[in-house]
Amino acid sequence: MSETAMEPSTKHSKNPPENRDVASQTYLSLPQSNSDPAKIKAPLIQSMRYSPYPRPTFIAAVRQKTSSALKQALQWHQIRIQNWLAPKQSTQKIMDVDSEIMTVEVDSLSSMLGSDVKLTTPEIDRQTQVSEESEYEDRLFSQQADFIRLRDAKLLMITAPSPQARGNGKHADLGSSTVSIPAALSTSLIPDGSREDNKLFHHYISNVSVMMTPFNDDYNPWKSTYPCLAVHDVTSNSTGSLFHGILAQSAFHLSNLNGPNPASYRRLATQHFGIALRHLRCSLGRPTEDISSTLAAILTVQFDTSRSFLRQKPWVTSDEAWVITQSFVLHTLMSQIVGGDTPSTDRTLHEVLEDVTADPRFAYTLGSTPRLMNALYEARLLEGQLAVRGASRSGRQPDLSEDELAQASSILVALDAEVELYMSRQRAVQDRAEQRKFIVSNLYLFNSAVTIYLLCVVLHHPPSAVTDQVSQTLSAAASLLEMNRAAVSIWSIFVAAAEAYTTEAQTLADGVLSLSTGFGVANRALIHQVVKRIWSEREEVAARRGCDAGIVFVNWREVLRNLDVEILLL
C-alpha cells in the first residue's frame, strides 16, 4: 500500500518562522540531492547484515548475563516475581534468587539449542562458527531474555495510555497503565516447541520484529504484544493461528535472505501458514475465543476477514487489542492509497479511525503521528471527492472549488513540535542528541512524503513541483539508513522515488532503494522494479513530446495495474 506525501507551496511553508531553524539545523548534516550514493553505500551495507541495533554475540551474551551488574538488575525483577507468586505458591520453596536466574538462563539456552545439546564452553564456541545458519542463533539472546522472564512469571507489562486518555485525544494522558496476560509457567520460550519452532520464533523476535517499525523500543508490538499473545494459551485456536502465522512470517523472511536452504524455509513457511489458516477458521466459529488473539491472528494471517470482526469494537476491550486494531487502520489506509479505490464510506471504518486516532500513540509503529496520518487521510478523502465529480479523470490538474482549496490548504500545515512525545517514550539511551536527530529526521521525512502525495497524486502536479521535497525525503532516508535504522518508512521512499526525474535524484533513489531492499523483504525488491518502470514511462513520454521529464505526470497506480502487481508500503 503506498503513501505519498504532500508538499507545501510557497504560500504554505512547512515550517513556521519559529521552527525553521530547527528543521534547517537538522538537515545540515543530511546528504544533499547531488551526493554520490556510493559514498553512502559503503558504511550502510555493513548495517544491512544485522538488525538495526548492535547486539552481543552468542558467547558474549552468555558471559554478560553472568556478570554481577546484570545479576543485580535481574534480582529486582526476580524479587517482584517471587512476591507476586508467593500467595499462589505458598507450599513451594522459593529458590535462591541468583540460582534461579541461572536456571532460567540454562533452560532457555537448552530450549534454543535442543535438549540433547550439552552446554559446554567448547560447544558454545563451536556453535558460533558453524556457517551462516548459526549466525541467526548467535543473536537470539538480546531480545528474548526479558520476554522469557516476564512470560514465565505470568506477568506481561504492556505500556498504554489510561482509559481516560483514550476518550480525549487532545488532552490524552501519556502515562502508562499495566495489564496482565496469564501464561503457562514454563522455562521454555515455546512450551513443547521443537528446536526448529524455537529457532523461527527467536528469529522473529530478534530480527523480524525490529524491521517492522522505525522505533525499535519496548513499545514495539511485534516483539512484545504479538509474541506474548502467541504463546499465552496453547489450547486456544486463535493463539495457535497467531503462533503459526508468526512462524510462517519468520520462515518466509529466512527464505529471502542469502542463507542456506532457502527452498526448505519456503516450504516450512507454507506449512505453518496452512496450519495458521486452519486454526483461524476454527477460532472464528467460537465466540468464546480471546478477542485480542483472534484479531491479531486475522491481521497476521488473513487480513480481509478483520473488517467484519471490528464491528465488535475490540479496541476498547484491552490495550493489546488497541495496538492490534491500529495495525488494521494503518493497513486499510495504505491499501486505499496504493489501490486508488474510492475511500470507504463504511461507518465501521470511520468509527475505528475516529476512536483509534484519538490516541497519541497512533501511527507510532509507522514512524508517524496522528496529525500526519489524519492529514494523509484527509488528502485521500479529497482525492475521492475529486474523482466522484470527475475533476481529475483526464490526468490534468483539477479545478478546485473554494471549499476544496481550503481543504487542501488546511492539509499543508507546518510540522508540529511532536518530537517530545517520541522522546518521552524512549528508554534511557546514552546519546539523546543522536536519538532526537533520528526522530526529527523521521518526522520530517514523513511530512515531506505527505506533501508529495497531495501535490502529485491528488492534485496531479508534475514532479518538477516537488523537486526539493523529493531530494529532502530521499536524503533523509539515506541519513536514517546510515544511522543503522533498517525500518525506514518504505512508503515515503517510494512516493519520493516515483517523482524523481533528474539524474541526481534517481541516483540517490537507486542507492536508498538498494539498501532498503537488502533486509530479506521480497516486497521491497518489487518496489524498486516498479519505480524504475515509472521512470522509464516518464522518459518515453518526454521523448515523444520533446519536453523535459520534469513536466510529465505519470500515474504510478496505472503502472502498478499494467504490471499486475500489488505492493505493501508499510
Helix, strand, coil percent content, the chain, rounded in steps of 5: 65, 0, 35
Q: Calculate mean pLDDT across residues 492-500.
A: 94
What confidence tens digit (pLDDT) does each residue in 354-380 have? Answer: 777 777 778 877 778 888 888 888 888
Average pLDDT over residues 49-59: 33
Report d(CA 154, CA 145) in Å as an integer: 15
3-state secondary structure of 317: coil
pLDDT at 317: 63
Q: Is 555 among the domain residues?
A: yes
Where a domain ends, among 261, 286, 303?
303
* Residue 216, domain member (yes or no): yes
Residue type, 391: A
| Residue 210 contacts residue 223 (beta carbons within 8 Å) | yes
pLDDT in tens, 300-315: 554 455 555 556 666 6
Is residue 251 a part of any domain in this protein?
yes
397 phi, psi to nearest 5 deg: -65, 125
What are the phi and psi torsion angles at 172 (to 5°)? -70, 140
CB 211 within 8 A of CB 278: no
pLDDT value at residue 84? 38
Q: In this structure, is residue 260 part of a structural domain? A: yes
- Given a contact cutoff of 8 angstroms between Cβ atoms, the answer to whether 321 and 314 are in contact is yes
Domain boundary among 283, 303, 323: 303
Enumerate the H helices of 204-261 as residue ranges. 225-231, 237-256
Structural domains of the chain, count: 2
DSSP for 420-478 reads HHHHHTSPP-S-HHHHHHHHHHHHHHHHHHHHHIIIIIIS---GGGGHHHHHHHHHHHH
- Give which of 61, 236, 237 is closest to 142, Cα–Cα: 61
Residue 441 lies in a domain: no
CB 247 within 8 A of CB 195: no
Q: Is 423 a domain residue?
A: no
Q: Residues 420-477: pLDDT tens digits?
A: 666 666 555 556 677 777 777 778 788 888 899 999 989 999 999 999 999 989 998 8
Residue 271 lies in a domain: yes
Using pLDDT thresholds of 50, 70 and 90, give the confidence band for residue 113. very low
Instruction: With respect to residue 551, please indicate whether it lies within any of the assigned structural domains.
Output: yes
The pLDDT value given to residue 272: 92
d(CA 470, CA 457): 14
For the chain, the average pLDDT equals 65
Q: In the listed set 303, 321, 336, which residue is the last one of a domain according to the structure?
A: 303
Where in the sequence is the domain holding 253, given as residue range(s)? 191-303
Q: Calculate the CA dihedral of residues 484, 517, 496, 420 and round it to 10 degrees.
A: -30
Q: How far apart are CA 315 and CA 295, in angstroms?
A: 10
